[in-house]
Structure 1
Amino acid sequence: MERELEGIVLSVSDYRENDALVTVLTKTEGKLRMVARGVQKITSKNAGALLTGTLSLFTLQLQEGRELHTLRGARMLHHHRQISASLLKQALASLYCELMLRTEDVADGYALLSAALADLDEQTDCFTSACVFLNQLCLSQGIAPWVDSCVNCGRKDRITTLSLHQGGFLCVECMDRLQDVPWTRRQLQRFRRLCHAGMDQLDELRACERYDFSDFCRLFAFFREYSGIRIRSFAFLEQVVRMQEGQRS
């Protein structure tokens, strides 16, 4: 049975001679894996539609009862040109796709990834949307930081810090007992605002806050701590950020 499905390419890897194993996040069927035969040949017509992060229309021969399908053809629907022109944006796009690849199926995951890639392509401020995307992904997996009360005792006043190992905000008494480092009121408010933002609220969020790589790293620490998943592309992102910081100094 052949079907046409719209999807975003999450990963491409070698699979036999001149073939590739491709995983896409589709709009209607979640993640699908397919064999793209001959795609690594220089004459392949499908290669441009199979770049990581690209939105394409796939014609698939679906193998009923199997996890691996056959690609019959692919047509690019949208290529993010500004992402291609920026090493930092390329690193973030690769990270987004690997995160979506490695996590369990996410409700509205296609819409979340589409919005994150579109914002990355259009905006110069990369990390505000990156932080919101990552927090939304953590929420879908049940591992996002708890920021509405003390995660340890439940009290809502005298919140004093964020604790990675406790999983969220702590009040002053719990912080003292657990020997965490205090945050300023401004830091707490800023982080809580981030954790309550969705991808459809980026304009409002940017109007009052901007987030950077250090904020992203803080959220990524929660993902790494509680998912147990190793994301290889994070190391490349770190390298790109350090390189750009060195160029500015």
Structure 2
Amino acid sequence: MKPTTEVEGIVLSVQDYRESDGIIRLLTQDKILSILARGIQKQTSKNRMITQVFSHVRYTIEQKENGLSLLYYGNVIDSHYKIMEDLMKSSICFVLAEVITRFHGNPTIYMLFDKCLKEFQNDDAKAYNYACLLLAQIIQKEGIAPFVDGCILCKRKDHLETLSVTDGGFLCTTCNHDRILPRSKQEMIQIRSLFKANEKDFTQLNEMFAFNLDDFIFWVEWLEKCIHFNVSSLKFLKSVQTLT
């Protein structure tokens, strides 16, 4: 056997490859690995159960700098099986996985995705908070965060009443001029807090606010509109939303 290494992470996706193999996208603390898993499409594969999407796993692999690493064996730390039994939860997590795969990860993204999965597994509504925090981190990393320190047009800090996707930030009553529906004060505070929070603030933000599915979809669409990135799994999530 060639030299191997152990890696730990979360399975973002599994893509069929050749006749019976698969390619795993594994989110680790600092990067995304592409790993070839031989024979996992076969029902008798010993590795089939350790390559389920959204599982927290530990793998022994032959790691290659150029090309696909090769999976030898591994074990499941946490399967998050309840997520795959719920159409809404799994749809949200597939959107997150697609976004993370497109923009890559870091320790904060890894931590937020892990917490989001755990909360969904435990049927906790706070999962939406972690999902929105994760999106906010990616939006900031891409340099497309909304301006939330005042009105983006006139820079005044009072009488702020809404958020404009077109303008890229908050608008005051004068600059908005009834173009966009006003948001409540609580919503404006919540948006500002989302983009001003550092990692040390996440616990407090989680206690103070309650984000929901509409918030999550809004920030995915913000990503799409600002950098012309099509999140293909979002369409399915919206179709699931209409069923609830």
1:219 Cα deviation after fit = 1.7
Q: 2:10 is matched with which residue? A: 8
The offset of 1:180, in angstroms, is 3.7
**1:54-113 deviation line (CA, Å, top 9, x unaligned):** 11111111223x032211223211111332332211112222211111114445322222
Where structure 1 has 5 or more consecutive residues not aligned to the other structure, the ranges are 245-249
User: SS state of the match for residue 101, structure 2?
Assistant: helix
| Residue aligned with 1:108, SS | helix
Residue 215 of structure 2 aligns to a residue in which SS? helix
Give the corresponding residue for 2:94: 94
Structure 1 segments (4+ residues) deviating >6 Å:
none
- Aligned-pair Cα RMSD in Å: 2.4
Distance 2:203 2:136 in 1: 17
Give me the whole-angstrom Cα distance separating, in 2, the residues matched to 1:241 and 1:203. 28
- 2-side partners of 1:47 and 1:152: how far apart? 54
Taking every aligned residue pair, what percent have the same amino acid on both sides?
30
- Aligned partners of 1:187, 1:27: CA distance in 2, in Å? 32
Q: Tell me by how many angstroms 1:22 deviates.
A: 1.3
For 1:152, the equivalent position in structure 2 comes to: 153
Using structure 2 for the length normalisation, give the TM-score: 0.87
Asked if 2 retains the 8 angstrom alpha-carbon contact of 1:52 and 1:94, the reply is no
Match runs of 1:163-178 below 5 Å: 163-176=164-177
Write out aligned runs for 1:73-152 (5 A).
73-106=73-106, 108-125=108-125, 126-152=127-153
Structure 2 equivalent of residue 227 of structure 1? 227
Deviation at 1:212, TM superposition (A): 2.1
8 Å Cα contact 2:4-2:61 kept in structure 1? yes
| Distance in 2 between residues matched to 1:238 and 1:214, nearest whole Å | 10
- Trace 1:193-208 onto structure 2 (pairs within 5 A): 193-197=193-197, 204-205=204-205, 207-208=207-208
| Partner amino acid, structure 1, of 2:241 | V
TM-score by length of 1: 0.85
Higher mean C-alpha deviation, range 201-210 or range 182-191 = 201-210
For the 8 Å contact 1:144–1:223, the answer to whether it is kept is no
Question: What SS class does the counterpart of residue 243 from structure 1 fall into?
Answer: coil
Whether the 8 Å contact between 1:107 and 1:140 is mirrored in structure 2 is: no
Conserved? CA contact 2:113–2:131, under 8 Å: no
